[in-house]
Amino acid sequence: MSFAQKNEIKAIEKALKNSNFGDAKSAVSAAEALIGNMDDKSKAKFYFLKAKALYAEGKGSDKDIDEAIVSLDDLKELESKMGKLKYTQEANEMSLGMVNTFLTKANNAFSSKNYTVAAKGFEKVYRMSPKDTLYLYYAASAAVTSQDYDTALDYYVELKNMGYTGIQMNYYATNVETGEEELFANKQTRNFSVKSKAHTKPRDAKSESKTAEIVKNIALIYVSQGDNEKALGAMADARAENPDDLGLLLSEANVYLKMGNRERFKELMEEATTKDPNNAELQYNLGVLAAEGGNPEAAIKYYEKAISINPGYVDAYNNIAVVMLEGEAKIVEEMNSLGNSSADNRKYDELKEKRSQLYYQAIPFLEKALELRNTNIDAAKTLMNIYSALGETDKFKAMRARIEKMEASAAGGN
């Protein structure tokens, strides 16, 4: 039996020496049948050779590479118990090479928008280096992007259960030549650059927690699977641990919106505005809700609040004009229903004036939206039509010419 074990292990070594990974893999299968009778020293050697045969210098199948990783772990665990690290150093070097290869492939796949391959690659990096939890987060993000929600859910739940926050210290300094602030890989590199006077104004800042994003994605995946109870449970657990976390509050609101519970969504958004009264986006979203709920006065107030916080909020200007102009259809319908009597003619003139006033109210908001975003073709077309209806020929012609330039520019870009 001992002779057979040695022969099979030698067969693996010989095949590996000639880079004949197919034969090496066959020899591994033969040796594996004898592993129960191997001593620890032979087992350690076998585990190492098995990993090399299955990995095949990165050419092995996904299944084989996963087995190779397990074999390296088995080797390290065995030699640790033996107290004799004959192959562990080589195994660690092999593991590091594998991690770098997996990471390069995962990054390239992500850059090429091959998110399924990227997710698997990032997960492999994490499994081989569990301290680098960031890569499991990357795997989850890639899986979500590839719409592999079942896999993403497994990753996110694992992240949640380990208490992953993603918070890390970032190191910044301003480039003396360009005047722009830059992010450095670590503190030492940043400090060296500052010391060499290539950069100035060093600044340390913690990154934001990813807890809210993780829990929100868990909940939204549950919602997409029709499991609303689990979705709300996931949010409730997170909110209970972090009651003052605005990100979690907004995530819970989004879950209710996804479920179609607009009333609860609105309540939570209102709560969010009390926690963060100077958040223009919250005010804007409440305006959208009010407009959709048929409350134009409230919608305009929310949009105006958003603008008072952020005077450059283009969409808020747009939406104020949209809300104002929603009354136009009713006026036009009434105008079209009138007859030719003197009373009807007077009424027609009154309604026409009312419509003109509506236009004049909306114009400043549309003009501001176009000023802030000069490619805003929707605002430009609405203004052109308004100028036409008001008989302002010069403004109509100028806006029409502007729209033609926009369309030509867009066509050229395509």
User: What's the DSSP call for residue 244?
Assistant: T
The pLDDT score that the predictor gives to residue 109 is 95
Contacts of 183 (CB under 8 A, 6+ apart): 170, 171, 172
Tell me the pLDDT tens digit for each residue of 221-251: 888 888 888 888 888 887 887 777 777 787 7
Look over the chain and give the mean of its residue pLDDT values, rounded to a whole number.
89
Write the CA distances from 369 to 282, 307, 318, integer angstroms.
19, 11, 6
- Grade residue 140 by pLDDT with cuts at 50, 70 and 90: very high
User: 41-50, 126-135, 283-292: lowest mean pLDDT where?
Assistant: 283-292
Name the pLDDT band for 414 (thresholds 50, 70, 90): low
Residue 344 confidence (pLDDT) above 90: no
| Fold (CATH) for 104-161 | 1.25.40
Model confidence pLDDT, tens digit, residues 200-215: 999 999 988 888 888 8
* CA-to-CA dists, residue 101 to 55, 141, 203, angstroms: 11, 20, 33
pLDDT digits (tens, 9 = 90+) for 94-138: 999 999 999 999 999 999 999 999 999 999 999 888 899 999 999
For 336-413, which CATH superfamily applies? Tetratricopeptide repeat domain (1.25.40.10)
Superfamily of domain 215-325: Tetratricopeptide repeat domain (1.25.40.10)
Residue 4 confidence (pLDDT) above 70:
no
Q: What is the SS3 assignment for 205?
A: strand
Contacts of 21 (CB under 8 A, 6+ apart): 15, 53, 56, 57, 59, 60
Examine domains 104-161 and 336-413 and report if their fold is the same. Answer: yes
> Residue 2 has what pLDDT?
56
> Which of 152-161, 224-233, 240-249, 282-291 comes out lowest in average pLDDT?
240-249
pLDDT tens-digit readout, 254-269: 788 778 888 888 888 8
Domain spans in the chain, listed from the N-terminal domain onward: 2-86, 104-161, 169-206, 215-325, 336-413
